[in-house]
Structure 1
Amino acid sequence: MIDAWTAAQIRQAERPHLEAGEPLMQRAADGLAGVVREVLHASRARRGVRAARVLLLVGSGNNGADALYAGESLARELVPSGGVVTVVPVGTRMHEEALAAALGAGAVLGDVPSWSDQAVVSELLPGYDVVLDGLVGTGSDGPGLRGDALRVVTAMLGAGTGTGAGAGIGTRSSDSPVVVAVDVPSGIGVDDGAVPDPLVVLAADVTVTFGGCKVGLLVAPASRLAGRLVLVDIGIGPDLSRLRPALSAP
């Protein structure tokens, strides 16, 4: 059985650790970067030995910061050997320290209008090995995408590259990047598995979730968009074990 918790329960379990100054975000980012490295290793076997390229879709919340700190780690490894880590900032604000860390390590900023243009995305996206979806997460006030996040995801899905194992757009081919969701795929209901707009969800091949599994990752229809689930331990397991899971699923 897999136990799952609501977003509120996860925040409750995190609270004492955050108040104690524990680096939960860095632990999450380190675990995320490790999974991306594994994906890149498999991708090189599938797509050849050219330098790796990673695209970060970064929103305003903690998931965006997790993606940026993971991008910092990846950029330090990839950029010196000719790799690329591109940050597409789609939120109304950014985690300034995380953004500075990623750019300081060699990541570059992408142009949001270009990544919102379906024709441009059709040309750019096949050049990437991995897309990190750090658009929205458990702190969002609603599951649907809005603003630049909506425009960028719409352009990606409309480009017909087969992005995401469950996207239902195009046909998965050797030039399709692997989509890694940061904590949860953006656009799903974290607590109920709802997908209010299934045509505008960037379906994941892999979802890297932190601390504990979220209910929406195990409940259809959202569960069909999460891909393979990887749980990263950030140190809140004992706290969650004292709470009754919101869901237990086989």
Structure 2
Amino acid sequence: MRLGYSARSVREAELPHLAAGEPLMRMASAALAAELRSLMAARDVARNADTVGPRVLLLVGTGNNGGDALFAGAELAAEGIDVALVLMGNRAHEEGLAAALRAGARVVDPDAGGVAALAEGAAVIVDGILGTGTSADPALRGTARELVAAILPVLDREPRPRVVAVDIPSGIDPDDGRVPDPVVLPADLTVTFGGIKAGLLLPPASHLAGDVQLVDIGLGPELAAVEPLVRLPD
């Protein structure tokens, strides 16, 4: 049985663990990095050797979702993997950004044409723009929307980069699966943390989530006391 929880339920389940000082973000980012390694290993079989671009292109939002992506990028960059960062705002998760830069990741300008060219040559694009703590309207706006719109045509070509969403694809409602704006990167894989967000199991968002991989960060006891929004057979 696949259980889908509200974003609020998952956030509340995290609170005692955060209060106890448990490194939930580091646990999540390490699992994300492991999934990215596996995906890149599989992609190397079909990758065009003449294509020039970053192995991993991180689209980084300003919140904790971006922090997860940055710490994962830091792990990969420390292993010698070419990691490019596109920052979606004038700030980013401070520790995560510092870790990624120390490890050798590079920041690229958020120019639509340039980012689309980088995306075309990338092995993997990581969608770390928006997480579950967004407003009632989860649609992308401003620079983020412009850049995602520029990348979307790249996904219609082969060989194409694979897209990995951090927790949820940016632009979907995590509770009811609404997609208020079609400018959303369709994920091949969504790596979600603690508990599956209900929206990942409900259309139309479920059609944009790809394979949903749940990472256990120790929230089981808290979520066991919560009524899920969705129950689906495996």
User: Shorter-chain TM-score: what band?
Assistant: over 0.9
Q: Does the CA-based 8 Å contact 2:140-2:170 persist in structure 1? A: yes
2:43 corresponds in structure 1 to: 43
Which blocks of at least 5 consecutive residues in structure 1 are unaligned? Answer: 163-169
Letter in 2 for 1:229: V
User: 1:45 is paired with a residue of what secondary structure?
Assistant: coil
Distance between the aligned counterparts of 1:52 and 1:92, measured in 2?
A: 22
Change (3 A) 1:122 1:132: closer
Picking from 164, 186, 191, the partner of 2:170 is 186
Distance between the aligned counterparts of 1:246 and 1:43, measured in 2?
A: 35
1:226 corresponds in structure 2 to: 209
User: 1:187 is paired with a residue of what secondary structure?
Assistant: coil
2:123 corresponds in structure 1 to: 129
Q: Which region of structure 1 is more displaced relative to structure 2, 230-239 or 208-217?
A: 230-239
State the Cα distance separating 1:123 from its structure 2 match. 3.0
Which blocks of at least 5 consecutive residues in structure 2 are unaligned? Answer: none
User: 1:47 is paired with a residue of what secondary structure?
Assistant: coil
Q: Does the CA-based 8 Å contact 1:64-1:95 persist in structure 2? A: yes
1:209 corresponds in structure 2 to: 192
State the Cα distance separating 1:49 from its structure 2 match. 6.4
> Are residue 143 (structure 1) and residue 138 (structure 2) matched?
yes
1:111 corresponds in structure 2 to: 109
State the Cα distance separating 1:93 from its structure 2 match. 2.0
Distance between the aligned counterparts of 2:219 and 2:119, measured in 1?
A: 36
Map 1:1-250; keep pairs closer than 5 Å.
Answer: 1-47=1-47, 53-77=55-79, 79=80, 83-112=81-110, 114=111, 116-117=112-113, 120-141=114-135, 142-157=137-152, 160-162=153-155, 170-171=156-157, 173-174=158-159, 176-198=160-182, 200-250=183-233
Q: TM-score, normalised by structure 2?
A: 0.94
Change (3 A) 1:148 1:138: same
Residues matched between the structures, number? 230
State the Cα distance separating 1:245 from its structure 2 match. 1.1
Q: Which region of structure 1 is more displaced relative to structure 2, 143-152 or 25-34?
A: 143-152
Letter in 2 for 1:28: A
User: 2:165 is paired with a residue of what secondary structure?
Assistant: strand
Distance between the aligned counterparts of 1:122 and 1:236, measured in 2?
A: 37
Distance between the aligned counterparts of 2:116 and 2:23, measured in 1?
A: 38
After superposition, the C-alpha distances for 1:165-190 in whole angstroms (9 at most, x for unaligned) are: xxxxx34x12x110000000000011
Across the aligned residues of Structure 1 and Structure 2, the Cα RMSD in angstroms comes to: 1.5
State the Cα distance separating 1:246 from its structure 2 match. 1.5
Distance between the aligned counterparts of 1:125 and 1:153, measured in 2?
A: 10
